[in-house]
A = this chain, B = another copy of it.
Amino acid sequence: MTTQKHRVVIVGGGFGGLSAAMELKGADVEITLVDRRNHHLFQPLLYQVATAALSTSEIAWPIRTILRDRREVRTILGTVMDIDTGARQVRLEDGTVVPYDSLILATGARHAYFGHDEWEADAPGLKTLEDATTIRRKLLEAFEAAERTLDPHQRAALMTFVVIGAGPTGVELAGAISELARAALRDEFRTIDPREARVHLIEGADRVLLNFDKDLSAYAEEALKRLGVIVELGENVSEVDKDGVTYGGKRLEAKTVIWAAGVQASPVAKWLGAEADRAGRIKVEPDLSVPGNPEIFVIGDAATIAAPDGKPVPGIGDAAKQGGRHAAKVIKARLAGDTAPMPFRYKHLGSLATIGKRAAVIDFGWLKLKGRLAWWVWGLAHIYFLIDAKNRFSVALSWLWIYLTGRRSARLITQGPAEKAAPLKEVTKAEG
């Protein structure tokens, strides 16, 4: 009988969980990676699925395929229900029990509605592939219903799109929706002119892209306006319902509202019975372990840790990756008998956001780029970071096609009922 190897369980196959698994390559451990999805998702391009530029399979890969050559890694499709920190076991919804010696929780965050969960039905957020296809369906169905209706008020509300929150996701979504209407859908309708669509980007702060340099925020705002986006700053939304939004005492009738304003950590705190901040994030030790449970690490969007200079670590993919690598290094050091403190030092490599198909802003700190050159750097960087060669070709082809023809190849309305529009009297006569 052989000695049981040190068992590392990783929950979550996103940027953080996968980078922890990568960093543990060659270590004398057995790894179990649990995710409730079978795929790793390249979230930075999710907004392009939501706006019909890319298809779902272009930005997602089966986690087991990524880890197929790592014989010591077992991948399990399952949903965590609870963690028994005493018995050191992760319990899944189907009753499966996964024991661990070290545990890395990399479960990310969902969008949050600041105490207004009832807004979710009318203002979906964008975190999963299903979120993306839901938003895509809502966007495309709004134009379809606008084409059918003869009621001008109804039509105006159907052709008004609201994005709440002007961080990178909100900015990228608003720009892409405006391009969808102005370029991809052009010439395809007979009653409406999709170019008349109004896209509102509503933000509580006084500028877009709050985490970027002020010059870049100003540039991004200009670029959005050039695309026809109506940027409304310093506005807090007080009401969202199926017919529109209310903010600053104003009412805007809009059938399509998308939420990009806030996130809430996955329920790690509940599983652990640990202390969390208002956004549900666990306050971890400097080495990313949970206070009182040094064998448990929380990384990425599920954790909060102050950087040495006092700035919080941002909720971006690269921070999760660095966290995952760090947790793995701490585990390896401990296995080697090294118990010296290993505080996590986040290194901010840069922030990127794109506005439509010819503009982007990049803030590397030491270098700030904007405009067309930034867009090329953004595009190449994103293609480079995709998981495999097939997807790099495929995304490059999709982008080239859109660039050359303006047509988007993933304009599918799938899954879910079509919205009802107001009845028409005589459709074929309506064109006049």
- Would A394 and B391 be within 8 Å (CB), given that A64-B189, A129-B414, A427-B76 are in contact? no
Query: Is A339 part of the contact surface with B, judged by Cβ < 8 Å?
Result: no
Query: Is A418 part of the contact surface with B, judged by Cβ < 8 Å?
Result: yes
A100, closest chain B residue (CB) = B428
- Would A76 and B148 be within 8 Å (CB), given that A30-B428, A99-B426, A409-B391 are in contact? yes
Query: Is A364 part of the contact surface with B, judged by Cβ < 8 Å?
Result: no
Distance in angstroms from A154 CB to nearest chain B CB is 12
Q: Do B394 and A65 touch across chains, with their CB atoms under 8 A apart?
A: no
Distance in angstroms from A238 CB to nearest chain B CB is 32
- Would A390 and B394 be within 8 Å (CB), given that A64-B188, A423-B95 are in contact? no
Q: Do B60 and A57 touch across chains, with their CB atoms under 8 A apart?
A: no
Query: Is A397 part of the contact surface with B, judged by Cβ < 8 Å?
Result: yes
Distance in angstroms from A357 CB to nearest chain B CB is 16
The total of chain A residues at the interface (CB under 8 A) is 76
Q: How far is the CA of A423 from the CA of B97 in the complex (A)?
A: 8
- Would A65 and B390 be within 8 Å (CB), given that A412-B38, A425-B97, A427-B76 are in contact? no
Q: B-facing mask of A286-304, CB < 8 A → 1, else 0?
A: 0000000000000000000
Chain A residues numbered 55-71 whose CB sits less than 8 Å from any CB in chain B: 55-58, 60, 62, 64-65, 67-69, 71
Query: Is A187 part of the contact surface with B, judged by Cβ < 8 Å?
Result: yes
A37 neighbours in B (Cβ, 8 Å): 413
Q: Do B390 and A401 touch across chains, with their CB atoms under 8 A apart?
A: yes
Query: Is A369 part of the contact surface with B, judged by Cβ < 8 Å?
Result: no
Copies of this chain, how many? 2
Q: Do B415 and A74 touch across chains, with their CB atoms under 8 A apart?
A: no
Distance in angstroms from A416 CB to nearest chain B CB is 9
Q: How far is the CA of A57 from the CA of B401 in the complex (A)?
A: 14
Q: How far is the CA of A188 from the CA of B99 in the complex (A)?
A: 21
Q: B-facing mask of A1-12, CB < 8 A → 1, else 0?
A: 000100101000
Q: How far is the CA of A140 from the CA of B62 in the complex (A)?
A: 10
Q: Do A431 and B74 touch across chains, with their CB atoms under 8 A apart?
A: yes
- Would A397 and B390 be within 8 Å (CB), given that A62-B411, A74-B428, A76-B148 are in contact? yes
Q: Do A97 and B418 touch across chains, with their CB atoms under 8 A apart?
A: no
Q: How far is the CA of A71 from the CA of B431 in the complex (A)?
A: 11
Query: Is A79 part of the contact surface with B, judged by Cβ < 8 Å?
Result: yes
- Would A187 and B68 be within 8 Å (CB), given that A410-B57, A414-B130 are in contact? yes
Query: Is A348 part of the contact surface with B, judged by Cβ < 8 Å?
Result: no
- Would A427 and B77 be within 8 Å (CB), given that A38-B413, A56-B55 are in contact? no
Q: Do B94 and A421 touch across chains, with their CB atoms under 8 A apart?
A: yes
Q: How far is the CA of A98 from the CA of B394 in the complex (A)?
A: 40
Q: How far is the CA of A422 from the CA of B39 in the complex (A)?
A: 22
Q: Do B411 and A65 touch across chains, with their CB atoms under 8 A apart?
A: yes
Query: Is A420 part of the contact surface with B, judged by Cβ < 8 Å?
Result: yes
Q: How far is the CA of A331 from the CA of B192 in the complex (A)?
A: 29
A78 neighbours in B (Cβ, 8 Å): 148, 418
Residue from the set A64, A71, A147 with the largest chain B CB neighbour count within 10 Å: A64
> Can you name 30 A-B pairs with beta carbons within 8 Å?
A9-B428, A32-B428, A38-B411, A55-B55, A56-B414, A57-B409, A57-B410, A64-B188, A64-B189, A71-B190, A74-B191, A74-B427, A76-B427, A93-B420, A94-B423, A95-B424, A96-B148, A98-B427, A98-B428, A99-B428, A100-B428, A129-B414, A130-B415, A390-B397, A390-B405, A390-B407, A390-B409, A393-B397, A394-B394, A394-B397
Known A-B contacts: A57-B410, A62-B412. Give 16 more (CB < 8 A): A39-B413, A56-B414, A60-B412, A62-B411, A68-B187, A68-B188, A76-B147, A76-B427, A77-B413, A95-B422, A96-B148, A97-B426, A98-B426, A98-B427, A130-B414, A397-B397
Top-5 shortest CB links A-B: A95-B423, A55-B57, A77-B144, A57-B410, A64-B188
